[in-house]
Amino acid sequence: MRPDSFASRLLSWYRQHGRHDLPWQHNPTPYRVWISEIMLQQTQVVKVLDYYPRFMARFPTVADLAAASQDEVLQLWAGLGYYTRARNLHRCAQAVMALGGEFPVGSQSEMEALPGIGRSTAAAIRAFSTGQRATILDGNVKRVLTRYAGIEGWPGQKTIEAQLWQLAEDLTPQQDVAAYTQAIMDLGATLCKPRQPACPRCPHQQQCVAYATDQTACLPTPKPKKTRPQKERHFLLLEHQQQWLLERRPDQGIWGGLWSLPEFATSAGLQAWLAERALTGRLEAQPQIEHAFTHYQLIIRPWRLRLGAQSLIDGPVTASSDAPAQIWYDPQQPAALGLPAPIEKLLQAQRAAQQGQLF
DNA sequence: AAGGCGGGGCA
DNA sequence: TGCCCAGCCTT
């Protein structure tokens, strides 16, 4: 191993600062390593330290685990969460017994064929229990490598993940693979943390691209926000003597209790509402506005209708008792009303457009 | 309350 | 094959 390689720097750091006293690091048989890896996938080390000894005491060997009832396995797992994986654990033990009672640690592909064991976990078990050269890529390692090499793009994306696997394999040393594997996981867990990484204590500070380019905070690239569902709503801009009709919204739902434009699910609904009130005139579609909520995106489709001075008495448009409260609103003399920001913006834009027309 | 997580599962 | 989800925990 070259003395200034990624692996040698990492191993030096690990010998001095890594954890060497975890229960599964002693007597690292495939069975003991496997149980720890599955537990650690979903749980922090402190909690695993609580569960692991009890589990191993009850099921000292893979044969004991395979022979147990699923209920008993789940009982010892209770509180760790992700119970699908406890069921896989049980199924996997039985699969190993069907193979003769030994994990097929010599073969990556045979390991991956076992229930609950994928590429990274298979490699971890092989590296820790046999020292064979095998490469892991879990969340910690992804974070270390994206920063170290300055790899941009969401690591869940196929091309990025393939790049990371390639890099991970390239950096895996020929010797000391077990220690190296533990070391890179420890580095990610203790120094190269998601937030506020301890770069001054990192053995790779001089070589780290993210550190050099001040990108540690934005790498790994976060998962793209999934496109929120879109809701289209039609809003009526009913104008009368330079005022607009507002309705008080119900207390429940978005903009509860605020004053807003009459809202409709469809343009047909809007037209029916106008027809019921014998409100006629030219209905003009206005440019749509998009407004993002946390759980969906609202497409505001405004429709403007100018009422002639003679066509309406001053007062509410609807008089029935269960109808929403209504007022005429003059943006030039705004009353102390709560208006949703996008509605306020829409009204201001209308006013600006009208003033523009005057000149 | 939103994102992270290894593998499973479905298209 | 490739994409998305389950289910719990942390920030």
What does the pLDDT look like over A17-48, one tens digit per residue? 988 999 999 999 999 999 999 999 988 898 99
Statement: the CB of A304 is under 7 Å from strand B: no
CB-based burial, A200-229: b 16+ in 10 Å, e otherwise: eebbbeeebbbbeeebbeebbbeeeeeeee
More confident residue, A68 or A353: A68
pLDDT in tens, A190-232: 999 999 999 999 999 999 999 999 999 999 998 876 666 678 8
Q: How many residues does chain A have?
A: 359
Contact between A136 and A120 under an 8 Å Cβ cutoff? The reply is yes
CATH fold for the domain made of A3-212: Endonuclease III; domain 1 (1.10.340)
Q: Chain A, 329-358: which CBs lie within 7 Å of strand C?
A: none
Statement: the CB of A158 is under 7 Å from strand C: yes
The answer to which of A82-96, A112-126, A250-264 has the lowest mean pLDDT is A250-264
Annotated catalytic residue A169: no
Is the pLDDT score of A248 beyond 70? yes
CA pair distance A112, A106, nearest whole angstrom: 12
pLDDT of residue A191: 94
Cα dihedral A37, A39, A40, A46, rounded to 10, equals -130
CA pair distance A194, A197, nearest whole angstrom: 7
Residues A343-348 have a mean pLDDT of: 88
The answer to which of A5-19, A41-55, A207-221, A333-347 has the lowest mean pLDDT is A333-347
CA A230 → C1' C3, Å?
Answer: 22
Which CATH code, of 3.30.1330.200, 3.40.50.10540, 3.30.200.20, 3.90.79.10, is assigned to A230-358? Answer: 3.90.79.10
CB atoms within 10 A of CB A101: 13
For strand C, which nucleotides have at least one atom less than 7 Å from a protein CB? 2-3, 6-11
The answer to which of A69-78, A82-91, A176-185, A292-301 has the lowest mean pLDDT is A292-301
Q: Which of A8, A1, A4, A14 is nearest to A192 (CA)?
A: A14
Is the pLDDT score of A13 beyond 60? yes
CA pair distance A21, A292, nearest whole angstrom: 50
CA A84 → C1' B9, Å?
Answer: 13
Smallest CA–C1' separation from A225, nucleotide? B3
Is the pLDDT score of A314 beyond 60? no
pLDDT of residue A128: 95
Q: Chain A, 81-110: which CBs lie within 7 Å of strand C?
A: 81-84
* A321: confidence class by pLDDT, cuts 50, 70, 90: low
Is the pLDDT score of A10 beyond 60? yes
- The predicted model scores a pTM of 0.74
CA A40 → C1' C9, Å?
Answer: 13
Is the pLDDT score of A279 beyond 80? yes
pLDDT of residue A350: 86
What distance, in Å, lies between the first and last C-alpha atoms of chain A? 79
| Location of each CATH 1.10.340.30 domain in chain A | 3-212
| Location of each CATH 3.90.79.10 domain in chain A | 230-358
